[in-house]
Amino acid sequence: MKKIFTLLSLFICFASASAYTERNLLTSKYDMQQLKAALLCDQSWVPYPAYTDRTGWNALLGDARGNVIAHGEKQLDFKWNVIKATDYLAYERTGERMIMQDPFEENRRGLNALLLAELAEGEGRFMDQIINGVFQACETTSWTISAHVPRQTSRRSLPDWREPVIDLTSAGYGMTLSWIYYFLQDQLNQVDPAIAQRIKFEVDRRVLQPFIDDLPSSWWTASYWKPGDIINNWNPWCNHNVLQCFLLVEDDCERLTQAVWQGMESVDRFINYVSADGACEEGPSYWGHAAGKMYDYLQVLYYATNGAINLFDEPQVRNMGEYISRSYIGDGWVVNFADASAKGGGDAALIYRYGDATNSKEMKQFAASLLKGKKPTISYGNDTFRSLESMRSYQPLQQVSPIHQHPTCTWYPETQFCYMTNRDGLFFAAKGGHNNESHNHNDVGTFLLYADNKPLLIDAGVGTYTKKTFSPERYTIWTMQTNYHNLPLINGYAQQFGREFKATNPQCNAKKSTFSLDIASAYPAEAGIDSYNRQYTLKGKTLIINDAYRLKEVKADNQLVFLTAVSPTQTADGKLLIAVDGIEATLHYPSGWQVVTEPIHLDDKRLSNVWGENIYRTVLTQTNTPAQGRFEIKIVKH
């Protein structure tokens, strides 16, 4: 039964911003004794065939077997990358992280592809190269990327071998090596027992023991959480990888049980932090690493306890899953608030598995629709668990009907996201919330508008991450600023960073297709704003924006900012034409306002891969702004 996401067509919803809530879904539903009784400590939980079970692997892979082997063959001559000290040091010297990260990730992907190919073929052809990859990984000083190494005591980007830091990649590398240990231990021992022993030693030293010790550098466990702190995708992502490391290489059942319980407490904190409405404040690009990793974690926990520990019937868990189908606009476009990209859709196999576990027909059919009539693909990447699970879902996913339909209105009352769509092909999304969300932009009240899956008013997204991205200089980056979102600059001021800079009185009226809020509190006190109420109304082929404001005094003319993927054309006073791939719309604004449009050249591939060489920023200036006023903007599809 859908609770939060039921079509709200009969009433108005009111909400405040999300807050940490002590639900503790795992540790309140289960205790340590239940975990001890249920936990399978001998790897008998693993749902995949043994390496020597050729019949099992052939049946699991079906006609995908050849592709898996062919993908691995490309790595037979792979030259394992050496990560130099200067590659790490580049992060603190120049802010550059990819010079270290790209070759490092290439090694991880290569090792995963080789493992999958050997499991598919089973003839030992890939073993030497797997051993080379294992040896290279174990000889590497750190499995932590340069951008995350400064979590160590020295705060430097050169890793100190005496102080392992568990991050997204170190736990992920440990997970892949743990699966190699599980599947191929006997075959490795035939070559030299030191290989498997080294894997176990390094996984314990770099992942297991640091997790048991719960060091401050492992901030993502949220053991040190206090009100106001963010708990983001690192929590389920790292916990998911750490859990597999323990389950696959730990022989001591007492230590294993303690670690699993410790992880359950940690993941509870993440679920507590996420709003019950299930929205991912980090956006669809991060859903796979946030809700998706939480699902993966819960699935491994379900396997490892033979189904005894199961949260898949919890409404919040299902809501978190269905967020990804609701946020998909169409033709690859998604609602991209915060650091999310406007292009995506998601991993069909992951979405299917999540939907299957939570009995969400919506998710399963959405997953099938993403395939566009093609067969599913095996996930290669660097996440061995997802690769293996994509094999399990490969055949059942092909049996699902491909359907994706938007409800007329989806309202996330705690996160304050509002999506509306209609029969005239318009898709609208807006947000309230506050300016200290995970991967935050100063964008309270911003909106997107698509017509027939074409972007009319956009959110640029975010560029390639550098040291500045997650530093005190974050809001010097243009993509993070109010000035580059579909928002007003009020009395000459933009919004500021901080949880106190927020929307008030957000209201979603699904019957009237309106979303309204007061954004005055998102701006600094010196802006002198008593109120700034904005209401969006979706009506037929038109989006109507009604703004009403009151200032203590006028310091500067108000301005409205609009971002578009194409350069708008002024066809008359008060009219701007926006034409995107055969879809046309006119933006109507008050006569006499000043209009300036400027191109924003995108020299960052993370942005240009989505939008091309340029996007465009149009600023409408309300000349001779009075201290109190109201006005209307209309975007009308032709």
Domains in the chain (CATH in brackets) are: 19-50+227-405 (no CATH), 416-637 (2.70.98.70)
CA–CA distance, 349 with 363 (Å, rounded to integer): 11
Q: What is the pLDDT of residue 283?
A: 87
The neighbouring-strand residues paired with 328 are: 334
Cα–chain-centroid distance for residue 347?
Answer: 12
Using CA atoms, how far residue 240 sits from 289, 296, 386, 389, 529, in Å, is 10, 7, 11, 14, 46
Length of the chain: 638
- For the chain, the straight-line distance linking the first and the last C-alpha, in angstroms and rounded, comes to 39
Give residue-wise pLDDT tens across range 424-436.
999 999 999 999 9
Give pLDDT < 50 ranges for the chain: 1-18
- Sequence-distant (6+) residues with CB within 8 A of 229 are 222
The neighbouring-strand residues paired with 334 are: 328
Q: Are 622 and 631 in contact (CB under 8 A)?
A: yes
Token reading at 351: 């979405």
- Sequence-distant (6+) residues with CB within 8 A of 224 are 216
Q: What is the DSSP string of 207-235?
A: IIHHHHHT-TT-GGG-TT--TT----THH
Q: What is the pLDDT of residue 637?
A: 98
Torsion sign, CA atoms 111, 114, 116, 119: negative
Q: Which residue has the tokens 């209105």?
A: 409
> What angle is formed at CA 238 by the lines to CA 232 and CA 241, rounded to 5 degrees?
150
Burial 580-616 (b: 16+ CB within 10 A, else e): beebebbbbbeeebebebeebebeeeebeebbeeebb
| pTM summary value | 0.93
**Which among 448, 391, 414, 396 is positioned nearest to 320, based on CA atoms?**
414
> What angle is formed at CA 381 by the lines to CA 190 and CA 283, rounded to 5 degrees?
145
Cα-atom radius of gyration of the chain, to the nearest Å? 26
CA–CA distance, 592 with 601 (Å, rounded to integer): 29
Q: What is the pLDDT of residue 8?
A: 28
CA–CA distance, 119 with 388 (Å, rounded to integer): 10
Q: What are phi and psi of 412, to 5 degrees?
A: -105, 95
- The four Cα atoms 211, 213, 218, 224 give a dihedral, to 10 degrees, of 130
Q: What is the pLDDT of residue 12?
A: 31
Q: What is the pLDDT of residue 16?
A: 36
CA–CA distance, 607 with 523 (Å, rounded to integer): 27
Token reading at 493: 């001021």
**Which among 120, 117, 142 is positioned nearest to 128, based on CA atoms?**
117
CA–CA distance, 250 with 138 (Å, rounded to integer): 18
Q: Are 340 and 461 in contact (CB under 8 A)?
A: yes
